[in-house]
Amino acid sequence: MTPAPLVLNGLVVGAMLFALGLVGILARRNLIVMFLSAELMLQGVSVSLVSWSRHHGDWGGHVLVIFVLTVAACEAALALVFVLQAFARTGRLDAAAWQSLRESVLPRVVDRELPASDAAVMVFPRLTPAGVEPEHDPDAALEREHV
Amino acid sequence: MSPDGGLSSTGSLLAVAVGCAAASLWLLLPRGEGGLRERAASRFGMLLGAVALALFVATGRRLGGVGEEAVFLIVALVAVIGGAATVVTRSPVYSAIWFALALAGVAGVLLVLGAQFLGVATIVVYAGAILVMFLFVLMLAQPTGMASYDRVSNEPLLSAVAGAVLLGLLTLFIGRLSAGPDECCAVPSRAAALAGGTPRPPVAPEPPADSAGRDPLAENHVARLGGELFGRHLLAVEAAGVLLLVALIGSIAIVSRTPPDEPADAAAWRAGA
């Protein structure tokens, strides 16, 4: 039985999401973006499962997707705890900060000097000063200006 | 009209689309260039990505009505563009927000495919709970400014090629599914006939007789999904509950431990090596 056109299109969308998640896992170095890519792969698998469920006319794919959701929630909780611990130890969300875990035959990742990023330059509007300048709180300068 | 010619032209279009997608991902992934070159590369990458998406849309199967086709096209494009932007965006906060958009698209695709409960559950569980947890961790852990490891990638060219090869193989297989029963279904039935000795009828071209209770497209969708879940799969539901409890206890146990002394790698990173 040839699958319906809608089923085939759903399978193609699931394949595209899975491939995008694969590229993200392989290429990115931020731990949180890597986990987002893993979740993207899970979404692709969910779309494929529901497509096959529609093709076969039964509930197997739907039930599997519900369990995928459950396992994704557990995985996200545990993974974020590990990410937090990793950040507390190294101060970076960088996968290469843990490269002492790599295979002994692989070369060490060495960061090269990056050119200045123009994304960090912010342009704020200039407002006309009005009223009396308030007293400055010296403690406020010690707080983090950026989360 | 020859079916062979139509199939091969679709195949070559798909090959061009996959190649465009790989080149676009390679151009869009962060490579630590900065400045004018990076902006030009990202413009060109977006252009190539649009070409790839248009080719994928052109090779997709036509659905029944114009309305159905337009709705599926919109939600599928939202899902795929959101997913691509999740992967290539530099800032992890924007990446998480693009992922929320991709989730909205995926929920729309699930709704079009007839999975109403799953579409809503995806929004509630992923966008409502998991994504907010990601954002909490980002707000806790994000250092000031754009980090250097967000601006470079591991092997962007090889990663894009790997993704394109996977996508090409999957679309090739999916295209052969629609080519007819000669190619996709002949081998199992022939094997079954050889094993059984007598030729059997092909396996269930029609839905089974109790399809009114099993067809996900019939009425009372959620009630019958619940019946299936708590009937046939009751033991698996109990196991999933235990899994959630164990994950909860485990994450609390791990996060409440204080980290020991820094490993040598981390000390080297801090020192700027």
pLDDT in tens, chain B (273 residues): 334 445 568 888 889 999 999 999 999 998 887 778 888 888 999 999 999 999 999 888 888 788 889 999 999 999 999 999 999 998 888 899 999 999 999 999 999 998 999 999 999 988 888 888 888 888 877 666 677 888 888 888 999 999 999 999 999 988 888 776 554 444 444 444 445 444 444 444 444 444 445 566 667 888 889 999 999 999 999 999 999 999 999 999 988 876 565 555 665 665 654
Q: Which residues of chain A have pLDDT under 70?
A: 1, 116-122, 141, 143-147
Q: What is the dihedral of CA B55, B56, B58, B64, to 10 degrees?
A: -170
- Decide: residue B217, CB within 10 A, 0-12 exposed, 13-18 middle, 19+ buried: exposed
A118: which chain B residues are within 8 Å (Cβ-Cβ)? 34-35
Question: Within 10 Å of residue B260's Cβ, how many Cβ atoms?
Answer: 7
| Closest Cβ–Cβ partner in A30, A77, A88 for B248 | A77
Cα–Cα dist A58/B214, whole Å = 5
Residue B266 lies inside a defined structural domain of this protein = no
Does B239 map to a domain? yes
Q: How far is B197 from chain A (nearest CA, A)?
A: 23
Burial group, residue A88, by CB count within 10 angstroms (0-12, 13-18, 19+): middle
Q: Is residue A20 part of a domain?
A: yes
How many domains does chain A fold into?
1
Residues B240 and A64: beta-carbon distance below 8 Å: no
Interface test with A, best of B139, B174, B246 (most A CBs within 10 A): B174
Q: Which domain holds residue A14?
A: 5-91
The values of phi and psi at residue B143, to 5°, are -75, 170
Flag whether B233 is in a domain.
yes
Contacts of B160 in chain A (CB under 8 A): 23, 27
CB-closest option in B56, B171, B266 to A97: B266
Which amino acid appears at position B154 of this protein?
N
Tell the residue number behind the tokens 């999740």, with chain if given.
Answer: B86
| List of residues 6+ apart from A131 with CB closer than 8 A | none
Structural tokens at position B29? 């992934």
CB contact under 8 A, B87 and A92: no
Q: How far apart are CA B254 and CA B244, in angstroms?
A: 15
Residue from A37, A59, A64, A114 to probe the interface with B (highest B Cβ count within 10 Å): A59
Tokens 């790698």 belong to B265
In CATH, what number is assigned to the domain containing residue A76? 1.10.287.3510
Number of other CB atoms surrounding residue B211 within 10 Å: 13
The verdict on residue B230 lying in a domain is yes
CB A67 within 8 A of CB B240: yes
Full domain range(s) for residue B237: 220-256
User: CB–CB of A90 and B159 under 8 A?
Assistant: no
Q: What chain A residue is nearest to B80 in terms of C-alpha separation?
A: A17
**Domain presence at residue A50:** yes
User: Residues near B226 by Cβ (< 8 Å), separated by ≥ 6?
Assistant: none
Number of folded domains in chain B?
A: 1
Could you tell me if B40 lies within 8 Å of chain A, comparing CB atoms? Answer: no
Q: Taking CB atoms and an 8 Å cut-off, how many pairs form between chains A and B?
A: 330
Quick one: which of B2, B75, B88, B84 has its CA closest to B38? B88
Q: Does a structural domain hold residue A128?
A: no
What does pTM read for this prediction?
Answer: 0.81
Q: Collapsing DSSP states into helix, strand and coil, what is residue A94?
A: strand
The verdict on residue A58 lying in a domain is yes
